Amino acid sequence: MSSLQSNLSEYDSSLVPNGKGLRVALVVSQWNSEITEQLCEGALTTLIDHDVYKSDIIRYNVPGSFELVYGSKFAQDKNFNIVIAIGSVIKGETKHFDFICQGVVNGIAELNSKGRCPVIFCVLTDNDIHQARDRSGGKHGNKGVEAAISALKMAKLA
Ligand code: DLZ
């Protein structure tokens, strides 16, 4: 379902596992930081709302979304229950957008199949800054919230 049909910040809290005691890494791309800071804030607030201790949430910054793969692997190899990779790729005039998106999605998929804990994909891939704003706290909600809920569910997968 596209985010036009659902709001990324809406969820049924009765279906969300409690996060007490979970250790969470937020790997945050600094490219398009106006957007990634909003995504990070949405994820952080949602994790804390579900009882993850603030001191158990560690943030690592990476320069751009392409570096989210290495940053997530770096975090995965530490003692976390879950990693959330946060980025925003916005289409430009060249094919760079396609290469970055492809690299990040393939890299994170591989970490999920081979690494020691799940990596949640909190990467917006938009045509322009307006679409990105709409999905990072704007009219379509905040993908950071959605990512945090997925993180809680995956960390408690049983
Ligand atoms: C180079 C680049 C471009 C053009 N666009 C984006 C973008 O929209 N979002 C993003 O997160 N990163 C972008 N980057 C940077 C690359 O992800 C990467 O940091 C550099 O190519 C260095 O490896």
Residue in the block written with tokens 């804030």: 41
65: CATH: 3.40.50.960
Q: List pLDDT tens digits, range 5-35.
A: 689 999 999 999 999 999 999 999 999 999 9
How many angstroms does the Cα of residue 74 sit away from the middle of ligand 1?
Answer: 19
The ligand 1 atom nearest the CA atom of 63: 19
**Structural domain span for residue 117:** 21-155
Q: Tell me if 61 is assigned to some domain.
A: yes
For residue 40, tell me if it sits in a domain.
Answer: yes
In a domain, 70, yes or no: yes
The verdict on the CB of residue 36 being under 6 Å from ligand 1 is no
* CA–CA distance, 132 with 60 (Å, rounded to integer): 22
Task: Give the residue whose CA is nearest to atom 4 of ligand 1.
Answer: 96
The verdict on residue 111 lying in a domain is yes
| Residue for token pair 């975090």 | 75
Evaluate: CB of 89 within 6 angstroms of ligand 1.
yes
Can you give the pTM of this predicted structure? Answer: 0.96
Encode pLDDT of 94-146 as tens digits.
888 999 999 999 999 999 999 999 999 999 999 999 999 999 999 999 999 99
Which atom, in ligand 1's list, is nearest to the CA of 87?
11
> Of the listed 50, 96, 130, 140, which one is catalytic?
96
96 counts as catalytic? yes
According to the model, what pLDDT value does residue 6 have? Answer: 83
**How many Cβ atoms are within 10 Å of 18's Cβ, its own excluded?**
11
Whether residue 142 is contained in a domain is answered as: yes
